[in-house]
Amino acid sequence: DDQGRDILSALMYGARISLVVGVASVIISVLVGVALGLIAGFKGGWVDSFLMRVCDVMLSFPAILIALLIAGVGRALFPNANESLAFGVLIIAISLTGWVQYARTVRGSTMVERGKEYVQAARVTGVSNWRIMVKHVLPNVLGPVMVLATIQVATAIITEATLSFLGVGVPPTSPSLGTLIRVGNDYLFSGEWWITIFPGVMLVLIALSVNLLGDWLRDALNPRLR
């Protein structure tokens, strides 16, 4: 690059950071979304209405705008924060909008499953609602969640790269793919095109690979294609 550092080493290290942030944010989104969707779909009533209105409010704002706001506020409140805290704020910022899709998906599947015979049989035998949700309903609604989570990893990685490109993502000392693209963008028209092109290609390849994995999981978990 402009300082004589190896681009390939930076790409390998930056890809690791981007993958960790993307996977961690998706895991948090899955845990929150699946729990809330399961409760909303199984309980129904005012609980379902309240949680779905929260989802509607979250969907009314662009995801990147909310992530940009949270990351920017976190950077302003903790200007001298260490890298661990900065990564935590970034992961929470991305997860804050990611859980809605999981909640809606699980809620719809749970509303279908709760009326089936095995749930009614479990209720007749005296099984508690909590045990029915966790032991019986949850395993039957995880198929679409796994596919959605795999695809959302690519979206989370691109969101992290966008925030880092705008300067509110990972700390400047951590060479994520978005940071590398932002730094190389200053030298794009001076002839040093490889500083920004190669991180961009790496980001596209990672997103494409994750999406292909999601498509494979969708076909593998679809019983109609077996």
Residue 121's CB: how many other CB atoms inside 10 A?
A: 11
**Regarding predicted confidence, which is higher, 143 or 198?**
198
For residue 14, give both structure tokens: 């930056």
The band of 133, judged by pLDDT with boundaries at 50, 70 and 90, is: confident
> pLDDT, tens digit, for every residue of 72-118?
776 677 666 666 677 777 788 888 878 888 888 888 888 888 878 88
Contact between 25 and 99 under an 8 Å Cβ cutoff? The reply is no
pLDDT exceeds cutoff 80 at 37? yes
- pLDDT at residue 222 in the model: 61
- pLDDT at residue 56 in the model: 84
Separation of alpha carbons 165 and 150, rounded Å: 23
Q: Which domains does the chain have, with CATH numbers?
A: 7-221 (1.10.3720.10)
What distance separates the 2 farthest-apart alpha carbons in the chain? Answer: 74
> pLDDT, tens digit, for every residue of 1-31?
767 778 888 888 888 888 888 889 899 999 9
Q: What percent of the chain has pLDDT over 70?
A: 91
Mean pLDDT value of segment 148-167? 83
Please give the C-alpha separations between residue 155 and each of 23, 128, 148, 195, in angstroms, as whole numbers. Answer: 10, 37, 11, 23
**Short-list 143, 103, 129, CA closest to 42:** 129
Q: What is the mean pLDDT of the chain?
A: 81
